[in-house]
Structure 1
């Protein structure tokens, strides 16, 4: 390239992006709604008493309303909330899964709200879905049968939830499945928000800015705030696309996102419950390379530390765990920052043998069954959490695994395991035999034997037992163990385990084993 062309290109790149001012109105049936926050993804403005606002916007930005607690959002034909509009005078390049059309020159920047509905009084529930991650239409059917239908029928809790959020990896690289999946989610009949995941990216995009073109075409802004009752939900795209590198993404936040967070959190009352909904966890799993940029995490810590009530919801790992960020992580808040890394709706990637309904087992690598979570927002700004297994008893909070028969008098070296799905290190988990005394179980970092058994059965099978296998077992963070006694009478003995969940209270499960007499 000639030197003049290089200099000209550099000069063009150095020119500031031209912003234009747009004007609009936020209204409820024609009546202006004052005091509503409107954002371009970086800055915030409030509507005046007649609902009018003005804001500068740059090419590529999305203008959106931050729903106030006392109002509701209208829904579009796809059942998703309508609260945003892209500013793209030239549109976007067309990628494999399409692009975003140019914004009409006469586009309206008005937004509607419905403020006639009563404000949500806590407590109320929020449905939280980890990776739905569908690859085929068949997976969408599993999602409908395994997750959505039980909620609609009342068999699984969540029917009365105020709204819901999916924590990324909505699909598994097949962005064309968005409409089909959204049609199923819309059956729940509540407002639904979506965080972006690493499998929601346009991998044919040239850079990070364009990597969520089709996600944004479907779901709007990749970073937003949503207010309901005493909670502010911040939905964040925390996947930084790095084309040509391995891996092609890393967890982190962009400068425009930090600008938005600083502006929004800066005007928020300190007593408000702040919940972050994102895909990649803030913490780095033990023994792994850095999966979230440390500098970004530190900046986020500083913004969140003034708030006493903060919860982080993440997904991505296809296991379930709790992490408490403390001083050793760089967190300086008054109490540890709780991150709930939610188990996946698709569990082990919709893998495993199918049940009588034709739905795959989908157990996760740590032994957690696939399912969904519920977050209850409390009146005092607090929260409670529960996990709902998709299969079996939706009230079950643990699964036991132990032997069927042991030799009476043998060395007591065979354990019973309790996988406590929402278990946290330090929780009280106890076992008793029959009506005997309760004795503590020990938390262990081991693979769940139930998943190991499935892995071995897949290995031994002469033909495929499912379209895909469940993942290989990994050490679970919520597995407890106790050795079974062999010095009891011959016959069947009932093993009872109780776990004390910090939100649901006491949970119990039973199994049995038999002691047989034997001669050498």
Structure 2
């Protein structure tokens, strides 16, 4: 009986196994007239739109169709063209990417990229309002670096909430270290940031890594799942943005990471840069500064290779984060730049300042001044036609922000040798900035730029040292020499009593900025 059954089964025709459709990395770009993220009848395809997988670039044809080589685990993204807006997803992010994961990816603590059906990817665009074409205001955040839900609350109340409904920006950019190693906080950070109701672009940092990844190629899977591609481009009428992951992760080695670019990123740049207009500003955003030296600094060969690709562009701005300080750097031949003019890099201060440290104020938010004396906050970039731009720094929750932090002694002996001075920390200053001071409305005199710690932060360091219990969850950072600090000697040959000190700094973009303080002379 058993033998007969086996024979019968062998005689049946073979049934082919059900097969999944082949993976697809092509699709359509179309005009999404109703903004529902679905191509409906009557919505035409858009030709000439660039789509990339981070290496190759495809251009949509007359019907809006494009096709790219399939690569499991890569991120497919549209390069938003000038004159169009992207459809907004329920989480508030623009619908500009999709991760390709036909087979199961590596198992990671924070999830990585989920496996998904291998269907094609379509991108919807909507014509942009004409009013957006002339200039562009951009919010620049760096290093929100939250370690807990408490830190996310600080980020909300200190940085984001004061801007809601008031900022007037058309775009936002975060320059890495969105969180501080706890990638489970991405949804909270995303909800908080997107309450600003503006398209937002995220660049990864060294604290955004999947540290349990086997190698650098898989170290941003969770970041890409929540926040988008680690290489991207975004075009507006007045500016082109390119965002690049510049953290090379090397698990099990020392150091665990360093700054640099991958070969696939250079392939993307070599394919994309020839298509970029040169009559508008080109912004390159990264996390680790291009000027950063040392074992964890930016690899010199990669910097020179990138700079060679940028030499033909007359209007370039580099943006970076990472340092939790703030400075302007002007690249020249010593760092591999051989353009006609120095190449400007703005190293943006941290939203979290010094990792949400220091004494809390009346609202329960830490002071978190950075090690160079810059208050935590965010920057603004105003892009103008023809490649010009303006930058500014906004201290968190500072309603009357002069951009200058002053320190002077409260009292000096009348007639003493004038060995004590007023210090001015000009947060957006550099070696080219002119800073002057006067006493009691007298003659303006130049202040001397000094590379030393900000005395205001030294006072906090001393208070922390002398305290017999913690003054905050974490104490303020140890003060380090500031690249934007000036000093002027205070006269002691004036009358007894109070004297007013005025300081003015000539900002490259905002013009004259002023601040005032007082000191007192006392006879012994």
Q: TM-score, normalised by structure 1?
A: 0.93
Aligned twin of 2:385? 379
Q: CA deviation at 1:119?
A: 6.2
Query: Partners of 1:511 and 1:400 in 2: how far apart?
Result: 7
Aligned twin of 1:24? 27
Query: Partners of 2:449 and 2:278 in 1: how far apart?
Result: 37
Residue 319, structure 1, aligned to residue 325, structure 2: yes
Q: CA deviation at 1:396?
A: 1.9
Aligned twin of 1:424? 430
Query: Partners of 1:326 and 1:45 in 2: how far apart?
Result: 35
Distance 1:334 1:212, change over 3 A: same
Give the counterpart of 1:490 among 493, 496, 503.
Answer: 496
Contact in 2 for aligned 1:445/1:476 (Cα 8 Å): yes
Give the counterpart of 2:288 among 280, 288, 299.
Answer: 280
Aligned twin of 2:151? 139
Contact in 1 for aligned 2:280/2:386 (Cα 8 Å): no
User: Pairwise CA RMSD of aligned residues?
Assistant: 1.4
Query: Partners of 2:123 and 2:131 in 1: how far apart?
Result: 19
Aligned twin of 1:362? 368
Q: CA deviation at 1:289?
A: 4.5
Aligned twin of 1:112? 124
SS at match of 2:307: helix
Task: List runs of 5+ in structure 2 lacking aligned partners.
Answer: 1-21, 33-42
SS at match of 2:214: coil
Distance 1:400 1:482, change over 3 A: same
SS at match of 1:266: helix
Distance 1:387 1:116, change over 3 A: closer
Q: CA deviation at 1:151?
A: 1.0
Query: Partners of 1:91 and 1:331 in 2: how far apart?
Result: 43
Q: CA deviation at 1:393?
A: 3.4
Contact in 2 for aligned 1:388/1:394 (Cα 8 Å): no
Q: CA deviation at 1:122?
A: 2.7
Contact in 2 for aligned 1:41/1:257 (Cα 8 Å): yes
Residue correspondence of structure 1 range 102-501 to structure 2 within 5 A: 102-105=115-118, 107-115=119-127, 117-118=129-130, 120-152=132-164, 154=166, 159-284=167-292, 288-289=294-295, 291-393=297-399, 395-501=401-507
Residue correspondence of structure 1 range 35-74 to structure 2 within 5 A: 35-74=48-87
Query: Partners of 2:233 and 2:366 in 1: how far apart?
Result: 35
Q: CA deviation at 1:217?
A: 0.8
SS at match of 2:521: strand
Aligned twin of 1:100? 113
Query: Partners of 2:123 and 2:401 in 1: how far apart?
Result: 41
Query: Partners of 1:507 and 1:443 in 2: how far apart?
Result: 17
Query: Partners of 2:313 and 2:500 in 1: how far apart?
Result: 47
Indicate the structure (1 or 2) with the bigger Cα radius of gyration. Answer: 2
Contact in 1 for aligned 2:280/2:385 (Cα 8 Å): no
Q: CA deviation at 1:246?
A: 1.7
Contact in 2 for aligned 1:71/1:119 (Cα 8 Å): no
Contact in 2 for aligned 1:277/1:312 (Cα 8 Å): yes
Query: Partners of 1:394 and 1:152 in 2: how far apart?
Result: 18
Contact in 2 for aligned 1:374/1:385 (Cα 8 Å): yes
Contact in 1 for aligned 2:25/2:76 (Cα 8 Å): no
Q: CA deviation at 1:264?
A: 0.9
Aligned twin of 1:6? none
Query: Partners of 2:398 and 2:53 in 1: how far apart?
Result: 45
Q: TM-score, normalised by structure 2?
A: 0.92
Contact in 1 for aligned 2:260/2:302 (Cα 8 Å): yes
Query: Partners of 1:423 and 1:82 in 2: how far apart?
Result: 38
Query: Partners of 2:431 and 2:247 in 1: how far apart?
Result: 29
Query: Partners of 1:449 and 1:278 in 2: how far apart?
Result: 31
Q: CA deviation at 1:253?
A: 0.3
Greater Cα shift, 425-434 or 83-92: 83-92
SS at match of 2:67: strand
Contact in 2 for aligned 1:20/1:56 (Cα 8 Å): no
